[in-house]
């Protein structure tokens, strides 16, 4: 009986966490460059039940031998193992602002170990001088003329330097080259991760590499194809219709577990108040 309580509780907790993840996806449906999270559910290891008994050995001394016939497996519950961002390309929409830019992915090499495609990101520098990465190209110029992200982080060129401009009248070519007044100023830094699932989310669309690892320069590989679109932003890749459907399914699963929990509670109440009553 008590095992049933634990099993149902794990199901409710797992569905609650999944609902929270889906809610976060929905709240970022209009966030530029946001990548929707996906979850994976796993069951706890099953317990193999056996009944204890004795089997007599046909012998002259009438000896006995312990016997444990298998009853079957008992499931011990479920849990949400992890959440993983889905790095598919989002729709690109025009904004008309020269400081806005979007990465348009072309061919991405497949990682032989994971079987998944890599992903590209804008390279940023935070207030501590550490590297950060994002797909949110909603940039602007600060008071000193440096190209910065919405968080105030510096946008880097392919050499890892900050990009300084005179004003917002500049042009970005599809190959990432930045020109102003007919002069080449820099080239937008684009980093490539062969396994983006290893990147760690920091919120606001920011990612960092584990243990301060350095990502590859996307321009250095002929197998990677992409373009930079000025005056555009990449939209979130959240499918709002599917996310709402998944939220309803998760809610119904939570509700079903809740009803089972109530049934267990009524059974325990009957066992205590009626079955266990001493006349």
Same-domain pairing of 202 and 103: yes
Residue 71, token pair as written in the block: 């009853």
pLDDT at 54: 56
- Name the domain count of the chain: 2
**Residue recorded with tokens 């968080």:** 151
pLDDT at 171: 94
Same-domain pairing of 203 and 262: no
Residue 158 lies in a domain: yes
Radius of gyration of the chain (CA): 29
Residue 94 lies in a domain: yes
Cβ(25)–Cβ(36) below 8 Å: yes
Same-domain pairing of 229 and 257: no
Same-domain pairing of 228 and 102: yes
3-state helix, strand, coil in the chain (%, to 5): 25, 35, 40
Same-domain pairing of 227 and 244: no
pLDDT at 55: 57
Residue 213 lies in a domain: yes
Same-domain pairing of 215 and 154: yes
Same-domain pairing of 129 and 100: yes
pLDDT per 10-residue tile (average), the chain, 279 residues: 77 91 92 90 74 59 61 75 87 93 91 87 92 94 92 92 92 93 92 91 88 87 92 93 94 90 82 66
Same-domain pairing of 103 and 208: yes
Residue 130 lies in a domain: yes
User: Which candidate, 93, 112, 113, places its Cα nearest to that of 101?
Assistant: 93
Residue 103 forms beta bridges with which residues? Answer: 228
Within 8 A by CB and 6+ apart from 10, the residues are 44, 76, 77, 78, 79
Same-domain pairing of 96 and 26: no
Domain membership of residue 116 as a residue range = 89-234
Same-domain pairing of 104 and 224: yes
pLDDT at 98: 92
């Amino acid at each position: 009986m008590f095992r049933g309580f634990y099993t149902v509780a794990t199901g409710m907790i797992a569905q609650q966490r999944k609902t929270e993840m889906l809610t976060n996806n929905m709240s970022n449906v209009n966030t530029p460059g946001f990548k929707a999270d996906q979850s994976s559910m796993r069951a706890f290891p099953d317990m193999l039940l056996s009944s204890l008994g004795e089997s007599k050995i046909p012998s002259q001394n009438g000896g006995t031998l312990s016997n444990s016939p298998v009853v079957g497996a008992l499931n011990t519950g479920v849990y949400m193992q992890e959440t993983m961002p889905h790095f598919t390309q989002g729709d690109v929409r025009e904004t008309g602002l020269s400081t806005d830019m979007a990465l348009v992915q072309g061919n991405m090499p497949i990682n032989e170990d994971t079987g998944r495609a890599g992903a590209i990101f804008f390279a940023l520098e935070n207030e501590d001088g550490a590297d950060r990465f994002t797909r949110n190209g909603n940039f602007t110029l600060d008071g000193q003329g440096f190209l910065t992200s919405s968080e105030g982080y510096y946008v880097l060129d392919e050499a890892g330097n900050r990009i300084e401009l005179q004003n917002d009248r500049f042009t970005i070519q599809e190959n990432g080259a930045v020109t102003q007044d007919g002069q080449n100023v820099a080239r937008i830094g684009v980093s490539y991760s062969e396994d983006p699932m290893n990147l760690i989310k920091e919120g606001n669309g920011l990612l960092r590499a584990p243990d301060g690892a350095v990502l590859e320069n996307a321009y250095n590989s002929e197998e990677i194809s992409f373009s930079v679109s000025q005056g555009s932003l990449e939209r979130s890749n959240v499918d709002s219709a599917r996310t709402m459907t998944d939220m309803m399914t998760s809610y119904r699963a939570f509700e079903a577990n809740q009803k089972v929990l109530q049934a267990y509670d009524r059974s325990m109440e009957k066992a205590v108040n009626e079955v266990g009553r001493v006349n």
